[in-house]
Amino acid sequence: MLCDDCGKNNARLHYTQIVNGRKMDKHLCEKCARAYSASNYNMTLPNIMTGFLSNQVKKEAIRTEQCSECQLTYDSFRRDGKLGCEKCYQVFSDRLAPLLSNIHPHTVHKGKIPQNSTESLKRMRQLENLKEQLEKAISDEAFEEAAKLRDEIREIEKNGGGSK
Amino acid sequence: MKWIANEGDERDVVVSSRVRLARNLKEWYFPSRMTPLQGSEVYEKIVNSANYGETNAFKMKDIPKIEQHMLVEKHVISPTLLMNQEISGFIMNKDETETIMINEEDHIRIQVLTAGLSLQQSYLKANQIDDFLESHLNYAFDEKLGFLTACPTNLGTGLRASVMLHLPALEMTKEINQLITMLNQFGLAVRGVYGEGTKALGSLYQLSNQSTLGDKEEGIVQKIEQLCRQIAAKEKDSRKKLLENNGVYFEDKIYRAYGLLKHTRTISAEEAVKLISLVKLGINLGLIENNTIELMDQLFVQIQPANIQYLSRQEMTSDERDVKRAQILRERIK
């Protein structure tokens, strides 16, 4: 008997499948049988059920994921777009990341910083500003100004400031 | 309404400039998660920190309904502030150009509103108020994400800079559609001031930055101001061309609007806004004399429902308002 699928090799394996009370026989060669069982593997009922459930569980987990501080659920945020407290930004950071990059072209704050920010942040900002000024001075060919700025930058960097 | 009386740059196209900064206090839940008790504590905390200059503080629940809506129509406070009545309020200076809204969507919303194109100045002023508040309060801030806001769309700078533009000519020539597409590409949102979607009643458009994170405040403000200057130039150019090319038909449209407003006995807000817009255009082009564009800008607001009822000191039905509106227009337009 030749294989039902390829029609070339001899059929060595014989499947009997009952779907909705209808019996179906299949006779396959070894090669086609491997492909057949691989493609049908996930279709077995227990697998369908567990796959479905694990998806449900995952979705349910995201929905009920909760801020440890204000108890806001992610589902509630998805409904009305408002977070409950500053901690929410940490708790939901993974889910917020793609959202943020959708709304804002850059996702790192470059604007104003509070007066009571940490010294290292202040120094980093000061360095960024000076470097910007330096670039401008160079493009304006204001080399005296550029030299002054360069010295200032070196001085700050020598004193342990700035991460860049 | 006082802000409208001030002079301003590009006043024949730009009605007003507004800058808004959103801030929240560290270690307090955002307003939507606060209990009424926490809400009033935060309210007191902010009011006590804001004693700069001559300002007054108001609890929303102490203000009569009509007055609340009148303030929204004047753009002095936001509609959202009315949603949290139990805990919300605002601080305002005498000429109504500076408002600090408390417990709106965020704990603090600093707003500076001025006539004409003055975003950069408005930002400087808002920044000063922000500095003052911050010397008394601790803000929720993250080194990477900037100022933390209830809605991620305000994150970072918390800055929304918006400009109200009167663009009747660009609308008539249909150039407006192309302009809006271009502005969207520049990261700016455009919407009608009155009316939804693309139907901008009275040719009044609001233009504002979409993104608040990743750019510096000065850069955001400067970009919008520069674009507005270009738009204003284009609008003025189109106005002149319309008059040159359509002559009597164009004039007829404007004088008809003028005639209607001067003699109407009952009129809806919608119709009034459309007609005021045309008369304003007529004043811009020197066709209509004895009236000012400042007056027209005031009328846009003063013919709105809550303003009419506030002026009459009583609640009115829609029909009663239409009659009162007509009377106001006949009296004010010369």
Q: How far apart are CA B146 and CA B289, in angstroms?
A: 50
Cross-chain Cβ contact A84/B211 below 8 Å: no
Six-digit token string for B143: 């080194």
- The verdict on B293 touching A (C-beta cutoff 8 Å) is no
Q: Does the structure show a pLDDT above 80 at A117?
A: no
Report whether A1 contacts A10 (CB < 8 A): yes
Locate B95 and state its tokens: 């000429």
pLDDT recorded at residue B282? 97
Phi/psi at A96 (5° precision) = -75, -30
Say yes or no: A84 contacts chain B, CB-CB below 8 A: yes
State the first-to-last Cα distance of chain B, in angstroms, to the nearest integer: 20
Cβ under 8 Å to B: A residues 115-134: 115-118, 121
- The whole-angstrom separation of Cα B228 and Cα B115 is 14
Distance CA B24, CA B309 (A): 35
Number of H helices, E strands in chain A: 7, 2
Residue A136's contacts (CB-CB under 8 Å, 6 or more residues apart) are none
Inside any domain, residue B261: yes
What residues form DSSP beta bridges with B148? none
Contact A109 B131 (CB under 8 A): no
Tens digits of per-residue pLDDT, B92-109? 999 899 999 999 999 999
Averaged pLDDT, B64-89: 94
Smallest CA–CA distance, residue B83 to chain A, in Å, is 14
Angle at B247 between CA B246 and CA B249, to 5 degrees: 70
pLDDT at B158 over 90: yes
Is the ipTM reported for this complex over the cut 0.90?
A: no
Residue B8: pLDDT band (50, 70, 90) is: confident
Nearest to B50 by CA among B112, B129, B104: B129
Work out the pLDDT band at A10, boundaries 50, 70, 90.
confident
Q: What local confidence, expressed as pLDDT, does residue A48 receive?
A: 58
* Tokens (6 digits) for B117: 């194109």
Closest CA to B91 of B150, B46, B135: B46
Distance from CA of A13 to the nearest CA of B (A): 59
pLDDT digits (tens, 9 = 90+) for B170-198: 999 999 999 999 999 999 999 999 865 55
Lowest mean pLDDT among A63-77, B101-115, B134-148: A63-77
**What percent of chain A is modeled with pLDDT above 70?**
75
Cβ-Cβ contacts under 8 Å, B135 against chain A: 115
State the virtual CA torsion across A25, A30, A31, A36 in degrees, nearest 10. Answer: 30
> 3-class DSSP state for residue B100?
strand
- Cβ within 8 Å, pair A84-B33: yes
* CB atoms closer than 10 angstroms to residue B245: 10
Phi then psi for A153, rounded to 5 degrees?
Answer: -60, -45
Predicted TM-score (pTM) of the model is: 0.82
Task: Kindly state whether residue B262 falls inside one of the protein's structural domains.
Answer: yes
Whose CA is closest to B74, among B333, B326, B302?
B302
pLDDT tens track for B29-57: 999 999 999 999 999 999 999 887 888 99
Q: pLDDT tier at A164 (50, 70, 90 boundaries)?
A: very low
- Say yes or no to pLDDT of A120 above 70: yes
Higher pLDDT pick, A161 / B264: B264
Digit-coded pLDDT (tens) for B240-250: 999 999 889 99
A106 touches chain B (CB under 8 A): yes
Count: domains in chain B: 1
Q: Any idea which of A99-103, B266-270, B317-321 has the lowest mean pLDDT?
A: A99-103
**What's the mean pLDDT in A68-85?**
93
Tell me if chain A has a CB within 8 Å of the CB of B36.
no
Mean pLDDT of chain B: 94
Q: C-alpha angle with apex B78: B193 to B331, nearest 5 degrees?
A: 60
A31 has pLDDT over 90: no
Q: How far is A108 from chain B (nearest CA, A)?
A: 5
User: How confident is the model over A34-60, as pLDDT tens digits?
Assistant: 777 655 545 455 555 566 666 666 666
Contacts of B131 in chain A (CB under 8 A): 115
Query: In the predicted model, what is the mean pLDDT of chain A?
Result: 80
Domain that holds residue B292: 233-332
Query: Cβ contact (<8 Å) for A112 and B215?
Result: no
CA atoms within a 13 Å half-sphere pointing along the CA-CB vector of B114: 18
Measuring CA to CA, which residue among B151, B161, B274 is closest to residue B207?
B161
The distance from CA A35 to its chain's CA centroid, rounded to whole angstroms, is 33
User: Above 70 in pLDDT, residue B269?
Assistant: yes
pLDDT at B79 over 70: yes
Non-local (6+) Cβ contacts of A52 within 8 A are none
CA distance A12 to B95: 93
Residue whose pair of structure tokens reads 């909760």 in the numeric block? A66
Instruction: Please report the pLDDT score of residue B33 as a whole number.
Output: 95
Mean pLDDT computed over B273-295: 96
The Cβ of residue B1 has, within 10 Å, a number of other Cβ atoms equal to 16
Distance of CA A129 to the CA centre of its chain: 32
